[in-house]
Amino acid sequence: MRNDQLAELGQQLRVDAVRAANAAQSGHPTSSMSAADLGAVLLANHLRYDFAQPDHPGNDRLILSKGHASPLLYAMYRAAGVIDDEELLTFRRLGSRMEGHPTPRLPWVDVATGSLGQGLPVGVGMALAGKRLDQIPYRVWVLSGDSEMAEGSVWEAVEHAAYEHLDNVTLIIDVNRLGQRGPTRHEWDLDAYARRLHAFGWHTIEIDGHDVGAIDSAFAEAESTLQKPTAIIARTHKGRGVHDVDDREGKHGKPLPNAEKAIEELGGPRFITVDVAAPPAARVLYGSRGGRAEMPAYDVGTSVATRDAFGDALAALGSVRPEVVALDGEVADSTRTAAFAKEHPDRFFECYIAEQQLVAAAVGMRTRGYIPFASTFAAFLTRAYDFVRMAAVSHAPINLVGSHAGVAIGEDGPSQMGLEDLAMFRAVYGSTVLYPCDANQTARLVEAMADLPGIGYLRTSRGETPVLYGPDEDFPVGGSRVLRSGDQDRVTVVAAGVTVHEALRAADLLEAQGIGVRVIDLYSVKPVDAATLQEAAEATGCLMTVEDHRPQGGIGDAVASALSDGRPLPRLIRLGVQNMPGSATSAEQLHLSGIDAESIAAAVQLLVEEAVVR
Amino acid sequence: MRNDQLAELGQQLRVDAVRAANAAQSGHPTSSMSAADLGAVLLANHLRYDFAQPDHPGNDRLILSKGHASPLLYAMYRAAGVIDDEELLTFRRLGSRMEGHPTPRLPWVDVATGSLGQGLPVGVGMALAGKRLDQIPYRVWVLSGDSEMAEGSVWEAVEHAAYEHLDNVTLIIDVNRLGQRGPTRHEWDLDAYARRLHAFGWHTIEIDGHDVGAIDSAFAEAESTLQKPTAIIARTHKGRGVHDVDDREGKHGKPLPNAEKAIEELGGPRFITVDVAAPPAARVLYGSRGGRAEMPAYDVGTSVATRDAFGDALAALGSVRPEVVALDGEVADSTRTAAFAKEHPDRFFECYIAEQQLVAAAVGMRTRGYIPFASTFAAFLTRAYDFVRMAAVSHAPINLVGSHAGVAIGEDGPSQMGLEDLAMFRAVYGSTVLYPCDANQTARLVEAMADLPGIGYLRTSRGETPVLYGPDEDFPVGGSRVLRSGDQDRVTVVAAGVTVHEALRAADLLEAQGIGVRVIDLYSVKPVDAATLQEAAEATGCLMTVEDHRPQGGIGDAVASALSDGRPLPRLIRLGVQNMPGSATSAEQLHLSGIDAESIAAAVQLLVEEAVVR
């Protein structure tokens, strides 16, 4: 498209953004208007995208990281002829695909945005897939705001992209100078951004973001720049083109005061349609080799850490599922993804100590069809909670594995202990939360995780625990195992992970005193096996949960929720980590937190003595 | 101290680190050895610290951001004469203050470290307090590893420090080239770090981190560099001084294979004691003006958003409590901390869109005696979960305020909705979780938050809600309010925030049908008012929780946990946000998520019809 046409297209996008926000009486037209020329040039002259085939592997990816500027994106879709004017004007209405912030309800949106500073991190994951997995020359275009450059996650991604020489990712920064509540730190100091990006190894281009010719050249330069990613730093005006809002404070996130006048000032509605360039032919390389993975098998009675079993199982899974990839936060030796790295180095991604980028890269790869397992210490996944939350909004089923769960890790102390992870992951929409106690169980669950419909979380333990189950046993997601039961059981102890072993030992101690207890291994914390719990509740009348986790949000809450369906409830008692641990051995920690065998046995004895249980 | 003495002191610190790890048979001696010379020079010639008065306001602050190198810190304490050899060798043992990673159990440790990339962010908060609040010329020294420079949080802090011209903070990067599982991204490329830091506006000095003279000069240069923070980038050897581990891979986080030989190679134990320089006289400026805050008052029956009441209340609180400070993530107009900014601009800190830094800066200020309230959208506090978790480990009682809670925000969609925040904050050790439904209640709770012993969280709502309570009513933390009750109540509806108003409306709808329900306003989600809930359970036999939050980890779980003490339980039913919301109005959202008055009434009717309740 010629420059004069591009300028017209830019105006069309502005007008449409104004119209959409006016119809909704909310939204962010001014943030859309600043980037309209950038969007116009990208759509008309650079993006290679088959809108009829959003899954075309050769398609470029476009991420609107400044998701609040959704009216711009939707205006671009109208210009591309894939939504009509009527749909555009359903912006922000119930049932409309034109949501306040873009989500994958629209087939051309790969990932939801709206939490700032996530577009580039996820885009880097896509670009990494393009280079190292797909080997398809698609380009990832990320349109970002200037305010969001303050997010550390952006700099994790900046570092990652440069380190991996991702010349297939282009970051476009819409420097409109004004954030939500006032001027940004650097306002129109384009050099401030360029200096930083350049120092990290990026190619940078500074332009007037309303000069379509300059934009066109910059995009072309980005496309031809090799071995490094390019950032285009564009000076723009928020609300560009309408005098009453152009570069004015206090105009963020509101429809224009006088939309009719504004549309007139912008030259009225236009009906330009863009013939977006088709992507080159491409095909996905991987294809399942089929067959069931030869999962590792462990002998009952031996001692194996579940983290070890996870590493072995992931490596085995990778051998039959070429779409399985592993991402590490520089702790692969601890999480045991080192085993995967050794067998499948081409599908192992070192993300260094940058947990937000670790999860974001996984999301990016997921959008390209891969099945990512991203691992670090359970405690450090808290760093990436916003990315996990947004992955759920994006319907991107990634798997996360947190090792070093609970006080059982021992001497390293509270900073390294995952004690809030179950709460965090249970609250995520559509998540599955698994917490195995045994090596063979771990292997089976890892296998199942590859095909989960939502976010999967596996909690592994540092120390060795006895192998309880045979290698051929099944552990369906949503199931549980009754490990001990008898007619005279007076309490049911519900445990998972390390506390299963404590519960079994407690059962032995109590049996010696003539007190029978049922023991349930609740390896699937979400979904939870309500039927088995209800049966145990009826049979024993009292459930005691024991967890190496804070008393809130974990196994105790999961069990209580399974019973909250209006039926009469059993008595419930919870044991969890109430203290702030210091350094101590694993056994000491479990004892001090009141979740070891002796504590469980004592708690049951107390119930029996006080005749709370029959 | 002279250079030859400094070198000897460095060797002493190495020997002590080796000895401590050997006694524990775990820990990180090699990571301590790389930074030993840096620690020696700092302690002997630059740190100004009165160990007898850790609360001395003039004390420099020292943060060991690479917390795993705790043996080095403890060795420095021994050299300073404040711990003895015996205590040093209790490293990592139960009950010892020599924890695996430093915590404030030691009076000279301000904040716990061990989750990497947190030292500088917190240090910037301290430095900001020094410049803008205390106006005391203490220096903040942050000793950081090289691996942790990959954390985005570090770059949020780097940006923050430079932007605020914090020449009172010095970052010392121990570039020992080796991370946990292998070489770091930049290994010994000191320029890579210097370029990045310089681009962000820092003064940088590259040195040989084992040349005590160079270290000494660099520290002096940092002390005399004005208007910008200084980073000292030191090339070091991990395991320096012991041939078997010096700059070798695979030696991370393990005691030395042959400690005796290593100690000999290092020249044996030494008993140098350092006379650490005293800080200059200083006094804290603030002092409570006393008197009770004139909190804002709202008329019953008017409509006010709780976020507005929060903003007003915080501003009022600030007028009588000069130690109250407010921190913003560039959304002060939305969270309403703008009201505080207007009245107390000197105590308002704009952290821009960098939520980790927002929380970290609050922690830093807390260590200097201030009472921080850090606010952003509830959804975006997920970004800072690791910092919140670590603040609890640090026993740093900061207050966090999350606005725009739940689906009730309306059209903006799921990316902006806080739906996991209650789960996240409930699981934090020692936290208080408050969720008011009314403006006067909000004001009272804000007042109470200033004196909470742990992490405080306040959840506010975007939309206006009716004022239910008078301005003089009390709302103790841990309390609740019974808003409706009668002899014939068949169900108790437990609600908080927006759902209180839905519950009241449901009660009206049901009353018209002759069905009585009790309504409880559970404004204190943690601690929770177990007595009132138990009383309601006994009286009505059935509790129904209704929350604008995911069904996991929030109000439903809190209520269930209050009843899990072994007594017979009532029937429990939970209503929460099970769907993935799109754009819609607030009323539509509440209805679609099944938590509006009609949904509550329908659920109660069903229970009555099915005779589940009496």
**Would you tell me which residues 277-336 of chain A have a C-beta closer than 8 angstroms to some C-beta of chain B?**
328, 330-334
Give the DSSP letter of residue A517.
E
Chain A residue numbers with beta carbons less than 8 Å from the beta carbon of B412 are 100-101, 114
Phi, psi of A243, deg, nearest 5:
-50, -40
How much is the pLDDT for B403? 98
How much is the pLDDT for A566? 76
- Per cent of chain B over pLDDT 90 is 95
Q: Mark yes or no for CB contact A152/B156 under 8 Å.
A: yes
Residue A247 has pLDDT above 90, yes or no: yes
Q: Which residues pair with A482 in a beta bridge?
A: A520
Which residue does chain B place closest to A106, by CA atoms?
B582
Greatest Cα pair distance in chain B = 90
Nearest to B560 by CA among A325, A560, A175, A497: A560
Phi, psi of A212, deg, nearest 5:
-60, -30
B533 Cβ contact list (under 8 Å, min separation 6) = B480, B494, B520, B522, B543, B559, B562, B563
Q: Which of the four pLDDT bands, split at 50, 70 and 90, describes residue B292?
A: confident
* CA–CA gap between residue B50 and residue A270 (Å, rounded): 72
Q: How many Cβ atoms sit within 10 Å of the Cβ of residue A303? A: 11
Report the amino acid identity of residue A64: L
A62-87 average pLDDT score? 98
Which of B389, B462, B591, B605 to probe the A interface (max A CBs under 10 A)? B389
Q: Does B415 touch chain A (CB under 8 A)?
A: yes
Q: Mark yes or no for CB contact A564/B585 under 8 Å.
A: no
Q: Does B345 touch chain A (CB under 8 A)?
A: no
The nearest CA of chain B is from the CA of A233 a distance in Å of 16
Q: Are B316 and B308 in contact (CB under 8 A)?
A: no
Better-predicted residue by pLDDT, A612 or B459: B459
B504-545 pLDDT, tens digit per residue, is 999 999 999 999 999 999 999 999 999 999 999 999 999 999
Q: Which of the four pLDDT bands, split at 50, 70 and 90, describes residue B566?
A: confident
- Out of B93, B552, B567, the one facing A426 most closely (by C-beta) is B552
- Per cent of chain B over pLDDT 70 is 99
Among residues A164, A355, A420, A502, the one annotated as catalytic is A355
A466 Cβ contact list (under 8 Å, min separation 6) = A301, A302, A303, A438, A501
Chain B residue numbers with beta carbons less than 8 Å from the beta carbon of A352 are 147, 150, 179, 184-185
* CA–CA gap between residue B594 and residue B603 (Å, rounded): 9
Q: Are B279 and B138 in contact (CB under 8 A)?
A: yes
Which of A25, A31, A412 to probe the B interface (max B CBs under 10 A)? A412
B455-474 average pLDDT score? 97
Q: Does A611 touch chain B (CB under 8 A)?
A: no
Residue by residue, DSSP assigns B492-556 as EEEE-THHHHHHHHHHHHHHTTT-EEEEEE--EEES--HHHHHHHHHHHSEEEEE-SS-SSSSHH
How much is the pLDDT for A288? 58
Query: Strand, helix or coil at A446?
Result: helix
How much is the pLDDT for B565? 79
- Per cent of chain A over pLDDT 70 is 99
A369-388 average pLDDT score? 98
How much is the pLDDT for A26? 96
How much is the pLDDT for A335? 97
In the structure, how many helices (H) and strands (E) does chain B have?
A: 22, 19
Residue A292 has pLDDT above 80, yes or no: no
Chain A residue numbers with beta carbons less than 8 Å from the beta carbon of B116 are 353
Chain B residue numbers with beta carbons less than 8 Å from the beta carbon of A392 are 580
Chain A residue numbers with beta carbons less than 8 Å from the beta carbon of B95 are 582, 584
B47-59 pLDDT, tens digit per residue, is 999 999 999 999 9
Which residue does chain B place closest to A604, by CA atoms?
B566
The nearest CA of chain A is from the CA of B179 a distance in Å of 7
Place of tokens 């008078």: B470
Query: Strand, helix or coil at A141?
Result: strand
A241 Cβ contact list (under 8 Å, min separation 6) = A11, A14, A33, A36, A265, A266
Q: Where are the alpha helices (DSSP H) in B35-133?
A: 36-41, 70-79, 85-88, 119-128
Q: Mark yes or no for CB contact B572/A580 under 8 Å.
A: no
Q: Where are the alpha helices (DSSP H) in A337-495?
A: 338-343, 355-367, 385-393, 421-426, 439-449
Question: Terminus-to-terminus CA distance in chain A, angstroms?
Answer: 82
Q: Which of the four pLDDT bands, split at 50, 70 and 90, describes residue B288?
A: low
CA B158 to chain centre: 18
Which of A420, A433, A462 to probe the B interface (max B CBs under 10 A)? A420
* CA–CA gap between residue B286 and residue B355 (Å, rounded): 27
Q: Where are the alpha helices (DSSP H) in A164-305?
A: 190-199, 212-224, 259-265
Q: Does A248 touch chain B (CB under 8 A)?
A: no
Nearest to B169 by CA among B125, B207, B216: B125
A206-216 pLDDT, tens digit per residue, is 999 999 999 99
The nearest CA of chain B is from the CA of A154 a distance in Å of 7
Q: Which of the four pLDDT bands, split at 50, 70 and 90, describes residue B231?
A: very high
* CA–CA gap between residue A28 and residue A266 (Å, rounded): 17
Average pLDDT, chain A: 96
**Would you tell me which residues 347-376 of chain B have a C-beta closer than 8 angstroms to some C-beta of chain A?**
352-357
* CA–CA gap between residue A26 and residue A71 (Å, rounded): 11
How much is the pLDDT for A287? 66
Q: Mark yes or no for CB contact B26/A411 under 8 Å.
A: yes
β-strand B432-434 against B371-377: which pairing, if any? unpaired
Share in percent of chain A as helix, strand, coil (round to 5): 40, 15, 45
A343 Cβ contact list (under 8 Å, min separation 6) = A315, A318, A319
Q: Does A208 touch chain B (CB under 8 A)?
A: no
Q: How many Cβ atoms sit within 10 Å of the Cβ of residue A86? A: 7
Q: Does A163 touch chain B (CB under 8 A)?
A: yes
- B534 CB burial (10 A radius; 0-12, 13-18, 19+): middle
β-strand A371-377 against A324-328: which pairing, if any? parallel
Q: Does B557 touch chain A (CB under 8 A)?
A: yes
Q: Which of the four pLDDT bands, split at 50, 70 and 90, describes residue B287?
A: low
* CA–CA gap between residue A444 and residue A310 (Å, rounded): 9
Q: Which of the four pLDDT bands, split at 50, 70 and 90, describes residue A359?
A: very high
CA-to-CA separations, A8 to A2, A527, B268, in angstroms, rounded = 10, 53, 79
The nearest CA of chain A is from the CA of B220 a distance in Å of 26
B260 Cβ contact list (under 8 Å, min separation 6) = none
Q: Mark yes or no for CB contact B415/A526 under 8 Å.
A: no
The nearest CA of chain A is from the CA of B225 a distance in Å of 21
Q: Mark yes or no for CB contact B103/A413 under 8 Å.
A: yes
Q: Which of the four pLDDT bands, split at 50, 70 and 90, describes residue B175?
A: very high
- Domains in chain B with CATH codes: 3-265 (3.40.50.970), 303-466 (3.40.50.970), 481-613 (3.40.50.920)
How much is the pLDDT for B569? 76
Report the amino acid identity of residue A519: V
How much is the pLDDT for A569? 76
Q: Does A416 touch chain B (CB under 8 A)?
A: yes
Place of tokens 């021994």: B78
Phi, psi of B374, deg, nearest 5:
-110, 130
The nearest CA of chain A is from the CA of B280 a distance in Å of 33
How much is the pLDDT for B104? 97
A165 Cβ contact list (under 8 Å, min separation 6) = A131, A227, A228
* CA–CA gap between residue A448 and residue A433 (Å, rounded): 12
How much is the pLDDT for B567? 75
**Would you tell me which residues 85-104 of chain B have a C-beta closer than 8 angstroms to some C-beta of chain A?**
92-96, 98-101, 103
CA-to-CA separations, A227 to A128, A161, B332, in angstroms, rounded = 13, 10, 41
Q: Which of the four pLDDT bands, split at 50, 70 and 90, describes residue B139?
A: very high
Residue A77 has pLDDT above 80, yes or no: yes
**Would you tell me which residues 136-155 of chain B have a C-beta closer than 8 angstroms to some C-beta of chain A?**
147-148, 150-155
The nearest CA of chain B is from the CA of A150 a distance in Å of 6
Q: Where are the alpha helices (DSSP H) in A142-282?
A: 152-163, 190-199, 212-224, 259-265
Q: Are B419 and B407 in contact (CB under 8 A)?
A: yes
Q: Are B102 and B73 in contact (CB under 8 A)?
A: yes
Chain A residue numbers with beta carbons less than 8 Å from the beta carbon of B389 are 379, 382, 420
Q: Mark yes or no for CB contact B382/A389 under 8 Å.
A: yes
Catalytic residue at B355?
yes
Q: Does B585 touch chain A (CB under 8 A)?
A: yes
B387-441 pLDDT, tens digit per residue, is 999 999 999 999 999 999 999 999 999 999 999 999 999 999 999 999 999 999 9
A462-470 average pLDDT score? 98
The nearest CA of chain A is from the CA of B172 a distance in Å of 18
A538-558 average pLDDT score? 96
Which of B124, B155, B254 to probe the A interface (max A CBs under 10 A)? B155
Q: Does B513 touch chain A (CB under 8 A)?
A: no
* CA–CA gap between residue A369 and residue A99 (Å, rounded): 25
Query: Strand, helix or coil at A543?
Result: strand
Q: Does B165 touch chain A (CB under 8 A)?
A: no
pTM over 0.80: yes
What HEC string does B423-489 produce? HHHHCCCCCEEECCCCHHHHHHHHHHHCCCCCCEEEECCCCEEECCCCCCCCCCCCCCEEEECCCCE
Average pLDDT, chain B: 96
- Out of B152, B385, B415, the one facing A112 most closely (by C-beta) is B415
Q: Mark yes or no for CB contact A148/B353 under 8 Å.
A: yes
Q: Does B342 touch chain A (CB under 8 A)?
A: no
